[in-house]
């Protein structure tokens, strides 16, 4: 077996053994089309106050700026669809935040993955990224044959829907490349567009991030949420899953097998009263390993007040 073919087979097999659900590989090239779309999106102010997206533009579109001599971009998906959903009529939490912080969970698995590849192949250069660096993950996932980008901006797979985290490993190792995913299986469906409470989903797969509930409840650091959004949050306290919940492809979602993504009992069961009575000390203790800590206690308190739940 040729080294290139053997290394590719090893990487895909190892990814599955480490608990990743999909693995695709694309050639490391400059993403010129994505660069134009990103530039237009930024010019239209659809990133709101997320000014960090304006930075490192060149790094976002060119993997060789992140890993010199990069030849391959490996995309990995990790399912987070929960076995149980919230059992309370309290404020709603996005499913991705039910368990432990995915950044920490997947980063460790990526480091293990890279170590195993180096043990097999030799001293290669590589860097792993999980939603914490300037990488256009969904574009690479489409280029590596895993799925397509839906009208709601999420990567969708035919087999399992869209409740996945996307991780990326860029390396200077030359591998066999998967064919890009061909086609768009959203068809004429507009359920996500119709269901979005704040009209953040625009035609042509354009998402106005500055209108998204996830932006307001997580990313917005100011203590005032714009008044025109009052009454539009559909009781979402942290994040929003509406566009995924209504997507027909997510009828194929299966519960995650990652034990670290098991839902915290507090998230499944906390009532509105319990959220309101929570102290900062309780908050830090309950959510010390959770993505919810990103919003901080003050952010959660702000969100509760805005929902009219306090």
Give tens-digit pLDDT for 288-303: 999 999 999 999 999 9
Give tens-digit pLDDT for 137-164: 999 999 999 999 999 999 999 999 999 9
Mean per-residue pLDDT, 51-73: 81
| pLDDT of 226 higher than 50 | yes
Model-wide pTM > 0.85: yes
Catalytic annotation present for 131: yes
- Which pLDDT band, with edges at 50, 70 and 90, does 2 fall under? low
Of 27 and 133, the one with more pLDDT: 27
| pLDDT of 67 higher than 70 | yes
Mean per-residue pLDDT, 158-172: 96
- Which pLDDT band, with edges at 50, 70 and 90, does 204 fall under? confident
The pLDDT of residue 279 is 97
SS3 sequence of the chain: CCHHHHHHHHHHHHHHHCCCCEEEEEECCCCHHHHHHHHHHHHCCCCCCCHHHHCCHHHHHCHHHCCCCCCEEEEEEEECCCCCCCCCCCCEECHHHCCCCHHHHHHHHHHHHHHHHHHHHCCCCEEEECCCCCCCHHHHHHHCCCCEECCCCCEEECCCECCEEEEEEEECCCCCCCCCCCCCCCCCCCHHHHHCCCCCEECCCEECHHHCHHHHHHHCCCCCCCHHHCCCCCCEEECCCHHHHCCHHHHHCCCCCCHHHCCCHHHHHCCHHHHHHCCHHHHHHHCCCCHHHHHHHHHHHHHHHHHCCC
Of the candidates 21, 32, 62, 131, the residue annotated as catalytic is 131
Of 163 and 3, the one with more pLDDT: 163
Give tens-digit pLDDT for 84-123: 999 888 999 999 999 999 999 999 999 999 999 999 999 8
């Amino acid at each position: 077996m040729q080294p290139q073919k053997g290394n590719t087979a090893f990487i895909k097999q190892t990814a599955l053994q480490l608990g990743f659900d999909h693995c695709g590989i694309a050639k490391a090239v400059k993403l010129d089309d994505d660069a134009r779309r990103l530039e237009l999106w930024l010019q239209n102010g659809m990133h709101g106050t997320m000014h960090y997206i304006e930075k490192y533009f060149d790094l976002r579109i060119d993997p060789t700026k992140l890993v010199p001599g990069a030849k391959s971009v490996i995309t990995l998906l990790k399912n987070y669809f929960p076995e149980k959903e919230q059992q309370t009529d309290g404020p709603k939490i996005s499913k991705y935040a039910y368990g432990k912080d995915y950044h920490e969970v997947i980063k460790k698995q990526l480091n293990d993955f890279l170590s195993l590849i180096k043990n097999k192949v030799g001293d290669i250069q590589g860097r792993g990224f999980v939603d914490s660096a300037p990488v256009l993950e969904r574009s690479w996932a489409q280029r590596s044959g895993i799925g397509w980008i839906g009208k709601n901006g999420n990567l969708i797979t035919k087999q399992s829907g869209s409740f996945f985290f996307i991780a990326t490993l860029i390396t200077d190792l030359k591998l066999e490349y998967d064919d890009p995913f061909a086609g768009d299986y959203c068809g004429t469906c507009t359920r996500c567009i119709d269901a979005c409470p704040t009209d953040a989903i625009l035609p042509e797969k354009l998402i106005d991030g500055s209108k998204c509930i996830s932006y307001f409840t997580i990313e917005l650091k100011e203590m005032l949420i714009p008044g025109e959004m009052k009454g539009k949050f559909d009781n979402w306290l942290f994040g929003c899953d509406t566009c995924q919940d209504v997507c027909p492809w997510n009828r194929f979602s299966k519960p995650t097998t990652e034990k670290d993504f098991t839902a915290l009992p507090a998230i499944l069961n906390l009532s509105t009263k319990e959220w309101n009575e929570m102290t900062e000390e309780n908050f830090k203790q309950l959510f010390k390993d959770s993505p919810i800590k990103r919003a901080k206690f003050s952010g959660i308190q702000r969100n509760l007040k805005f929902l009219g739940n306090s």
